[in-house]
Amino acid sequence: MDEFMQAAIDEAKKGLEEGGIPIGSVLMKDGKIIGRGHNRRVQHDDPLAHAEIDCIRNAGRIGKYQGTTIYSTLMPCYLCAGAIVQFGIKTVIAGESKTFDGAAEFMKEHGVEVIDLDIDECKNIMEEFIHQKPDIWYEDIGK
C-alpha cells in the first residue's frame, strides 16, 4: 500500500476516534499531499461534510486541479463524485467498494480514471462501523 492510501486510512481512523464515520481522503499533486479530510458529518452536524468534500476544502484554493489524484478509503458517492468531476480531478483511487459501490460509473462516464484497490483494512473498518451504527451509516448514504 502506498503512503497516500495509508494517509487516507489514517484520516478514516481519526474520524472514527471523533465519533464519526470512518471514511478518509487525501488529495495528492506532484507527489505531495495537498489536502486531507475525513467524514465529519456527525461531528459537525453537516450532511455535506463527506470525506472527499472535507479533503478538497482543506486543500484550499489551488487553482487548477490538473495532475491531482484523490484517494478515498471508500468509493466516492454521487455528492463527492460530482465535486471530483466539477473540479477536473482525473484520478480516483478507492480503498474499497464492497460496502458501498458509490458512483464509479458516473465518474468514468465523465473521464475520471477510477481504481478500486479492494483493501481488506478499508472493508473491515466500514463493515464494523455499519454493524455497530447502521442508522448513522444509512443516514449518510441517504437511505
Give the tens place of pLDDT for each residue, 30-63.
999 999 999 999 999 999 999 999 999 999 999 9
Cell matching residue 119? 483493501
Chain mean pLDDT for the chain: 95
Mean pLDDT, residues 111-117 taken together: 98
pLDDT score for 45: 95
Per-position b or e across 14-50, b if 16+ CB within 10 A of its CB: bbbeeebbbbbbbbbbeeebbbbbbbbbbeeeeeebb
Rounded to whole angstroms, how far apart are CA atoms 120 and 116? 12
Rounded to whole angstroms, how far apart are CA atoms 13 and 7? 10
Mean pLDDT, residues 5-29 taken together: 97
Catalytic residue among 18, 52, 105, 139: 52
Has residue 140 got a pLDDT over 90?
no
The answer to which of 32-46, 77-91, 129-143 has the lowest mean pLDDT is 129-143
Mean pLDDT, residues 115-130 taken together: 97
Active site residue 105: no
Provide the percentage of residues in the chain whose pLDDT is more than 70: 99
Has residue 1 got a pLDDT over 70?
no
Superfamily assignment of 3-141 in CATH?
Cytidine Deaminase, domain 2 (3.40.140.10)
Task: Count the alpha carbons within 13 Å of 108 in the hemisphere toward its beta carbon.
Answer: 9
pLDDT score for 139: 83
